[in-house]
Structures are given as C-alpha cells and as structure tokens.
Structure 1
Amino acid sequence: MVSYYSYRAINNTYVRDAVEKNSYLLEMEKLHILNQIEAMERAAQMAFEDKDVKSYLANEREPDVGELVDFNTNAYINLMRIQFNNPNIEHLRLYSQSPSVHEIWPMIYREERVISEPWFQKGMRGKGQEVWAFQNTDSEPMQSYIGLTPKNTPKISLLREMSIPAGHHIGMVQVDMLLERFTPKTYTKVQDSQSQMFLVDDEMQLFTRTDHSFLPGNPNMTKAIADRTRKYQETGEWDIHYEENGKNYLLINTPLDLIHASLVNVVSMEGVMSDISHTRNLIIGANIGFIVLVTVIANVLNAFILKNLRRLTEAMKKVRRGEAYSGITIRGGGEVGELAHHFSKLMNTINTLVAQAVQKQALSKEAELRTLHNQIDAHFLYNTLENIKMLAEIENQRTISDALTSLGGMMRYNFKWCGEYVKLRDEIRHIENYIDVMNIRFEHPIELVLNIAPAYLELEVLKMSLQPIVENSVKHAWPGGDTETASRKIHIEVEEAASDIFISIRDNGIGLTPERLASLNNAIFNTKEPDIELAGPGKGSRQAGGIGLRNVYQRLQLFYGESYGLEVQSKTGEWTMVSMCLPKVLLTGENNDDEASNRG
C-alpha cells in the first residue's frame, strides 16, 4: 500500500513538474512574442502616422524630381531608420493605390503588384485596424516580374489599411518578421528532443520546425492540436493529455490574443514514464529497509536540524539587536544549511553595500568641500584673468592671451564640480586647455592627437579621470625636458567592443622597464593602500594633490563596478599607454561651457 501511494505521488509529481517547467518555457516564449509584437506595432504606427508618407502614397500625379529628392532625403530616410532600428523586422513595405506613384524598392510599391494576394485581401477587410497574417513563404512583390522563387521561410505580417480622409483608401502598411525570429524556441536548432513548440494561427495552420517533429510518427496529432485549439477558443477548456501509438504526450497551451493565435508545447512523457517505472521498482525494494530505519533516522535528523536552526535563529537575533555579524558556519546540507548560506551571503552583501555607500558619501562630501573651497573668490579670479587677457590683446600679445584663455577654461572646469559624470567632449576640451598651458614652458611643444568618432564625444566618463593620466605623461614621458628635440605626441583613441568603451592614452616618451611596469600595475590593482608612492606615471599628480592612477582606478571600480578599470602598458624607450575600460553610456542634452553635463 505504501509503495502504491508513493508511486502515485511520484507519478503526479513528475507530471506536475513537467507541466510547470514547460508552462514556464511557454510563458517566457510568449513574453518574447509580445515584445516582438510591440516592436512591429511601433514600426507600423510610425510609418502610418507619417504625413509625408501618406501624402506621397495618395499623390495622383507623377511626382517631379524635386519632390522625389525631398521625399527620399526626409520621409524615406525615416522609414529606413525605422527598419534599421528594429533588426528583427524582415521587411517594412508600403503599398499605394495610385498608379502614378513612383516605386522605391524595396520599400514602396504599387498595390497592383500584390492586390490578388490573400494576405492583402485580409488586410483590406480590417478597415484601418491592425490585421495579422501568417504566410508559409517569404515572397517578394517583384518575384513574378523578375523570376524570383519565394523563400521557403514562414513569416508573420502586420497589415493596416491607410486612408485619408477616413474612408478614402490610399494604401497599405506591411511589417514582416520571420517566424524563426518571432518565436525562436519554436524554430531553434537546439530544441529539447522530448518537447516541441507549435504556433497555431486563426486558420488552424501549424508552424514549427520540420527537421525535428513529432508529426511524422503521429499523423493524428495535427488534427488533435487544431481541434483542441478550436474548442479552447469556443469554450475556454483545454485537455493537456494526449495519447497516440501507445505513447503519452502533454499538450500545454497559451493563447496569443493580440494576433488571434495560440502557442502549444507538446511534451513527450516517454522518458518521464521510464523514470517513473524505474523509481517504482526502487521504492518497492527500499521500503523494506526504510520502515526499520525511519524512526531512528527521523530522530537523528530532527535533532540535527533543530540544533542548526537554533544557531541560525540566534545569529539573526544578534543582527537585529545591531551587533556586528561575524559569520555562521552550519555543516551539512538541507534547507537550514542552504538558508544559513544565503543569510551569510545576504549579510556580506549588506556590509559591502554599506561600505560602498559610506565611501561614496565620503568622496562626494570631499568633492563638495573641495569645490566649495575652490569657489572662494572664483569670480574674482575669472575677472582678473579676463582683465589680464584684454591687456595682452591690447598689447597684441596673442600667445599670452591664448594661454590665459586656456587657463581660464581649466579653472572653470575644475571649480564647477556639479557631479561625478561629464561628457567625453568636456574632458577632452579640458585636456586641450591643459596642453596649451603646458606648451608655454616648452621650446618643443607637445602635440595632442585625437582619434575619436564624433558619436563617442557624447559618452559618459568620470570627471577628471583622463586629465591626470595626460598630466603624468607630460611630467614623466620626457624627463630630458627641452633638450629632447624629437616630436612629442600624446594620442587619445576611443574604441568600442562588446558594449564596452576602451579609451587609450599613449605617449611616445621613454617608457618603463618591465620591472617598473609590473610594480606600477601591482600598486594600482592592490586592494590595500601601498606603502610606497606610485613613481612614474601617476606620481606627479599624487604629489600635486590631484588624482593619481590608483585613485582613478578606484573611482572607476566604485562608480562602474569591478569589471571596469585601467591598465598601464609600456615598451622601454618607445612608448607608454594607459588603457581605460568603462561601460557605454551616452549623455544627452545641450553642451554647456559653464557647467559640465552630468547625469546626477
């Protein structure tokens, strides 16, 4: 009797777990489909509401060259941008009823090319509402004219009739997406051999992968899925159990009301039933010995669990009273051991977050105090520099005037500390001012070479994160001073890889020896405060009270996470390069010379 009820319980558990697991997979796929539907609707809506597009489709006369050029450089570019911004969309097409419209392939066609297609007639019956149509092939409007063969790739189309004013038909919007992108789990090549997803449309057509399917060995399954889907649409009832050829299957369904379709996951129970039979045999053999030992084992486990549970409870009470958490060790597994493990991880995370919050607050307060200190008599300094600059211009001392302009820009950038983040263009402008000021000292000036795409100038960077590195290069790359006549260059380059930004600052100075380079990188990456100063790059900025390489590295780690930071590379006698890695974040808005943009 015990074995029988145990077998029934295990059987129900296996079936319930299979249903829950595959229902979860089905819901995740449904969520993906809903996101794709939203993307297609958004693309169709943007094209539908474009007045220039409607005007072009409704034009009953042949457009002149000027109108075509204007449409191509404005409205058509916007249409292309809609499709390019949604890479999963296969086609965005517009059809015009006007025989005079100028076709622009592959986006704008005359209706006469597709008016006989069933999907077009279905879209017309929508009367301006969104209509969804499934197709077994991805056909081109021009295929009958240029001899193309339709691609044997199923797709879904969002159709919407266009009319102005209401009731006057002018054309049709069509947004296509291949089903392998619309529902990837239905067409995936790594699908579980024990399950298969089907997409059923409103006409009871089944769409799925053909090279991995239960259908060839179960000829009645197609009709069973269609009949149950139809019954579900009529009554809301669904039977998950199905049997054919002596094999049991689970049919799990979820409706897709927005497109009048259903997503069905067919799960084979063959492997599950084999496991259940094996488990049943084990239960029968194990029950004989289990009955004898169950009382002793239960008592031992109960005492062990309660002991560990009391230890865990005491640790929680100490934390609640505000005492410092020193950790708890509970040997063995089980729920209590797992709970203790996660409680320890939770407390460690809380302590880490508290430490980070305190550190961030300290850095912010330090920055505020430094800014407040620097802003004392700031306007007096600005006005004094401006007066000296005007005197230099009156005396036709352009070099002095330009130097004062650069110095004023540097002071303004340093004093106006409105947040931790600025645009890359602001940091670069500050570096250019710094180089201009420093070049006054040198007979052979330093050349700043920038290799930065315009789009990257809007990137978010930490304020004063690049200038200390450039300052180190200026102070330490050429120790011979003006006795060195070779060209002095500092290169700044920005690259993108895997959604991260890499900024490299490289000089053509004397470089570092391998030993000195290893020591420098070790001092930067060391989590403890080093006992020695960072010589070479970074030393000058530390002695001057600025932010050294270690400080820049710690700020990057603090504000962006442990995946980001910097590294120094060098070749003795040739160059030194500092590479910085940070996430790609674009700051939007107008650039302001007086106040650096920030996201705070």
Structure 2
Amino acid sequence: MRERTGALWHSFHYWWGRRSLQSRLIAAYIFIILGPSLLVSFYSYQEINNTYMRDSIEKNSYLLQMERMHVLNQIEAMERALQMAYNDKSVRDYLISEDDPTLGELIDFNTTTFLNFSQIQFNNPNIEHLYLFSASPNVYELWPVIFRESRVSMEPWFQQAMRLEGRRNLWSFQNTDIDLMQRFSGGAGEGQPKVSVLREISIPAGNHIGMVQVDMLLSKFTPKTYTSVQDNESQMVIVDDALNLFTRTDNSFLTTDSGLSAAIKERLSVYRKTGEWEMDYKENGNSYLLIQAPVEQIDASLVTVVSMKGLMKDISRTRNLIIGVNIGFIFLVTAITYVLNAFILKNLRRLTETMKKVRRGEPYGSIKVSGGGEVGELAHHFSKLMNTINTLVAQAVYKQALSKEAELRTLHNQIDAHFLYNTLENIKMLAEIENQRTISDALTRLGGMMRYNFKWTGEYVKLRDELRHIENYIEVMNIRFEHTIQLELHIDSAYLEVEVLKMSLQPIVENSVKHAWNADGVELKDRIVKIELSEAEGDIFIVLRDNGLGLTQERLVELHEAIYAKEEPGADASGISSGGYKAGGVGLRNVHQRLQLFYGEAYGLEVQSEAGKWTAVYMSLPKVLLTGDNQR
C-alpha cells in the first residue's frame, strides 16, 4: 500500500513538474483562494442566518410586548369600571329591592346612578357592555344595564363566578356569546368573540345580592389578534387559563396546519409548570416560530405564530447568492490570473529576446549566467536591463520637468481670483476715503457676488447663502435703474438652513429684473420682487413673485413649452431650433432641468402670470437640511 501510494505521488510529482509555469501559478492561486473563500462563506452564511432569525424574533417580540401593554391597559379599564359599579351603594340598594319602585324613585335612580353607568361606558368607549344582575326576582329591570340574574344563571361563566364567592374577579373568554338585548328581545345576531370580567356582589359576606359583568370585544381587547389586515408572515393568538385559543379565522395558520393548536396548548401547559418555552415548530414541511408573552393578571398568554417560509426563502436566496458569488469570484480570479500570467510570461520572453538582440549588438560581447528557465535568462541579462532602465528614468525625469514647467506657465497665465478680490478691496477703500458710500457699497456687493460665483465647491448651498447672493445682485442692479427694485423676503428663519441648488434662485430673479418692467411707454415706480417659502408633506415650495407687466396667455403657453421641452436634434445652445423658432426661457429651462436632474422628475418649476399685473415662478424641491460647510 505504501509503495503504491509512493508510486502515485511520484507520478503526480512528475506530471506536475512538466506543467508550464502559467498552469502551476493558476492552480496555486485557486488553491490559495478556494480554502479561505469557503471558510469565510460558511461563516458569513451562519452569521446571516443567525441575524435573520434574531431580527425576526426581536421584531415579533417587540410587537408582542406592545400588544401585551395594550391588553394590560384594557384590563385596567375594565377592572376600574367593574369596581366603580361594585362600590356604588345606590346600585346595591336597588339590586336588593323587593318592591316595585315609585315613579319618583325611578326618575331619581335614572338621573343619577343610571347616568353614572352611562358615563362609565362613555369614558371607556372600548367597553361593549356593563351589566348588573340582581338576585331579587322582583327587581325592576332597566335595560340595557340592569337584569335579573335568572336570565343568565345557567351560563357556565356565571356559575364559575359564583364559586369564587366575590373574593376576586373572574375573567372569561367567549366565542359565541351575544348581546343580552338581542337574546331576550328576539333580535337575531351572531355571537362575537369577547372577554368578560365578573364579580359577585356579596355584602355582607355570604349574602348574595347580584353580579357585575363588564364585556369587551376581543377585537378591541387585543386588536392584533383579530386584525383585518392579512399578514402572511405572522398571526397572534390569545389563550385563556383553560388553554382555549382565540384568534382570527381567515388566513389562519391554525386552519392550514391542524396540529399547530395542539402544539401551542402543549407548550403553554409545560411553560406554566416548568417556566420553559420551546420556540421552534414544524408541520407539513412548514416551519414556525412560537413566541409567547404571559398576561398574569388574567391567567392568559399572548402567542405570536411566525411563519418561517418567507424568512427561509430569504436565507435560501442569500445562500445561493453566496455560492454564486464564490463561484463567480473563483472564475473571475482564474480568468484574471490566466490573462495576467500569460501577459507577464509573454512579456518576459519578449524582453529576453529583446535583451539578447541588444546584447548581440553591443561591442563588449555577451555575458553567460548559469541556470535555466525564464528566471535564469532574466538574471543573465540583468546588467544590460539596468542600463536601459537608467536611460528610461532619465528621459522620464526630463519629460516630467518639461511638463511641470509648462504647467507653471499655464498657471501664471490664468486670472488670479485673489488678485481681483484684493483689487476690489483697494478700490472700495479709495471710494470710502473719497466718501463715496454708494460706490463702496456697490463694490462690496459685487465682491460678494464674485466670491459666491468663484467658490463653487459643490452643487448644494444653504438657502441663506443663495438669498444673500440675490440681495447683492439686487443692490448692484439698482445702480442701473432710476426706480429701484425692492426685495421682500417672507421666509421663516428655521428654513434658512434648507438645501438648494447653487444659482437656482438668482436666474429667476434676474429674469424678473430684465423682463418684468421692460416695456416701451410703461413706467412702474414700485418695482417689487417677493420671495416666499412654504412646506407641505416634506417638500419645500418657493415662490418668486414680481409686480411687473405679466404675460399674456399665449406667451405663457409658449414659455411653458420652452421650459418643459425636451432636447431636440438641431437645437443649439441659444435656444433657436433649426426651423428658426426662438424657444425663449433658456434660464428658466436650465434651472428646471437642474432641479429634475438632482432631485427627480417630481420637482421643478411652474410659471403663472396675469397680464398687466404679476408673474410668479413656483419652485418645488425636497426638504433637506445642510450640516457643516456646504455638506449634505
């Protein structure tokens, strides 16, 4: 056996030694990469699987605890209502009365005590019924609150409450119990699942005078258990102290897998004895997670049944993705390795032949180096290669120096923005020395505009920066006009940090300045540009309105066509198509296209106008707050 193994190893070693260097390198790379890749993939899959399971458990546990808190609130509300009825002395007196009350007593009882019961239900709208049952056969019934207990004395829940002898409350879950009004008035009605809390009125102790009952529909007591929203991933169940299950009937896991109900009952029984709970359950190839939360106040439990079908599908998809990525990665590495090795070895052979030619052309003859293969040949010609490398390096350094020199000449030929700023500052100081405040202020505004234009570090700026730029622009423009333009800002300070595209508002204001009041024979002294901002459903709406001459309906339609028109072949940058039609509205169209490019097609510009009165441009964009210096 050992000799056979040795022979096989010798054969393999001989075969491997005859493979080319390229083949051996590819095999080595695959072997080196395959092992760690499989280990990492296996570990990643396990972690992803555990993460999916943990997230599913945490999510459903959180929802279960939230529902438990809701149930506890409803329990407190029902017990409070029961206690108020139980402690009412006038109620007890009425329940033990043997004689028919007079009309005055009935009116007094109805306007005080009976009204208080109505108020209890009014203050707790989730409470379905508040019943008082009297042991006296002669009591005068006041529907829908006061009844003789003979109407319900044979009900199992009534008998259970009687056995407690008023020592504590009895909580009873019922599937088909209907309203007493419908039961005894002859009306038809289907029973709705509900929960009731009952307590015997026995004052003094041992003297039974009646019973108090407070009802609430289970759809209000635990909404997620009877939710109408169809959820294919989870279902919530409430289980009473007798291990009876209450939940929705449509789209129910309990109907699909009949053994699920028995499994829940069995595990709850074990939990109540030992405190141990088992989550995993499988039936008919379906996997479930069973998560429970006890409701000790009523000896019940909330159980969430989580279907693992979707989760396992996600895990399977992830596993297939990992396998696919590994296979693709190995193929990619193999291909890259093959190409690179082929290229490297090919270049080595080509370099060897080239160096041989150079060596043969040199006057000092050849150099013999012992050794074989590509490495030996490379060592044999190493000295010649160094001479060539030194020459190439010298040439590269010389070329780099020429390139740097040309770059420096180019930089010297460019306009220095700082030179312009300093020049404006010098002129501004001269104007202040000459007491030319108007010129000084205009230069300050112009400098601010230049800095804003030159400092283009990103597409987004704060709204306050864009508004400051518009103010500077208006001040500079007012130097040109006899009648100045007034800029009115109606923007809450909280919105000044909102993100806007740089130079998105200024072109609209510039459009108003150039065209709003430009008409022969028309003079408008009060020239006003208003900027207003509002917010709705997470979006920002900015309105830029002027009191200019406005647009006719025909011109407004043409302007809309120009703004919303798509780029057409044959149209140049000036907005004039090949047919000679001047589109107009180039600045507005550019702003509209930038808004849609950066924010999406749901945003952009809309122009409205009334001829002879006003023009308004509405801009919509998402609400985004900038933090830091021009950072999103």
Relative to the length of structure 2, the TM-score reads 0.46
The structure with more radius of gyration: 2
